Amino acid sequence: MTKTLIASILAATMVVTSFSATPVRAGDNEDLARFLFGAGALFIIGSALSNRNKDRYEVQRVHPYHDRDFHRPVRRKFVPSACFRRFETRHGMIRGFPVRCLRNNMNNFHALPGGCRVRVHVPNVGPRNLFRARCLRHNGWRMG
Q: What is the pTM of this model?
A: 0.48
**Distance separating alpha carbons of residues 139 and 132, to the nearest angstrom:** 11
Could you say which DSSP state residue 53 is in? T
**Are 92 and 136 in a shared domain?**
yes
In this structure, is residue 67 part of a structural domain? no
Residue 45 CA: distances (Å) to CA of 14, 16, 33, 54, 132: 11, 16, 18, 15, 73
Q: Say if 94 falls within a structural domain.
A: yes
Co-location of 6 and 45 in the same domain? yes
Residues 37 and 86 in one domain: no
Which of 11-25, 60-74, 86-100 is predicted least confidently? 60-74
Residues 13-21 have a mean pLDDT of: 63
The answer to whether residue 116 is domain-embedded is yes
84 shares a domain with 139: yes
In a domain, 14, yes or no: yes
The answer to whether position 137 is within a domain reads: yes
Same domain, 41 and 98: no
Position 45 in a domain? yes
Q: Is residue 130 part of a domain?
A: yes
SS3 content of the chain, % helix, strand, coil (to 5): 45, 20, 35
- Residue environment code for 73-103, b if the CB has 16+ CB neighbours within 10 A, otherwise e: eeeeeebeeebeeebeeeeeebebbbbebbe
Domain extent for 104: 78-143
The pLDDT score that the predictor gives to residue 70 is 57
Same domain, 46 and 83: no
Whether 45 and 87 share a structural domain: no
Quote the longest CA-to-CA distance of the chain: 122
Q: How many domains does the chain have?
A: 2
Which carries the bigger pLDDT value, residue 129 or residue 71? 129
Residue 20, CB-side half-sphere exposure with 13 Å CA sphere? 11
pLDDT band, residue 138 (cuts 50/70/90): very high
Q: Is residue 70 domain-resident?
A: no
Residues 6+ apart with CB under 8 A from 114: none
